[in-house]
Structure 1
Amino acid sequence: MKLTFEYTWPYERMMNDIYISECPFCKQDNVLTNFKKEQLALAKEGIKQLLIMPCCHGKLTILNADDDYFYTDEKLRGQQ
Structure 2
Amino acid sequence: MIPFERALPYDIMMKDVYVPSCPFCGEDNVLLPMRPGDLTLIRGGKKRLLVFPCCRNRVTVLDADQDYLLTDTNLRKG
**TM-score of the two chains, using structure 2 as the length reference:** 0.90
Q: What's the secondary structure of 1:42's corresponding residue? A: helix
Match of 2:39 in 1: 40
In angstroms, what is the RMSD of aligned CA positions?
A: 1.5
Shift of 1:74: 0.6
After TM superposition, where is structure 1 displaced by more than 3 Å over at least 4 residues in a row?
A: none
Shift of 1:37: 2.1
The count of residues paired between Structure 1 and Structure 2 equals: 78
Match of 1:77 in 2: 76
Alignment of 1:1-80 (within 5 A): 3-78=2-77
Q: Contact conserved, 2:10 with 2:69, CA < 8 A, in 1?
A: yes
**TM-score of the two chains, using structure 1 as the length reference:** 0.88
Structure 1: runs of 5+ lacking an equivalent:
none
Letter in 1 for 2:29: N
Shift of 1:3: 4.8
Looking at structure 1, the residues matched to 10 and 44 of structure 2 have their Cα atoms a distance apart, in angstroms, of 17
Letter in 1 for 2:12: R
Looking at structure 2, the residues matched to 19 and 76 of structure 1 have their Cα atoms a distance apart, in angstroms, of 16
Looking at structure 1, the residues matched to 21 and 2 of structure 2 have their Cα atoms a distance apart, in angstroms, of 21
Shift of 1:46: 2.2
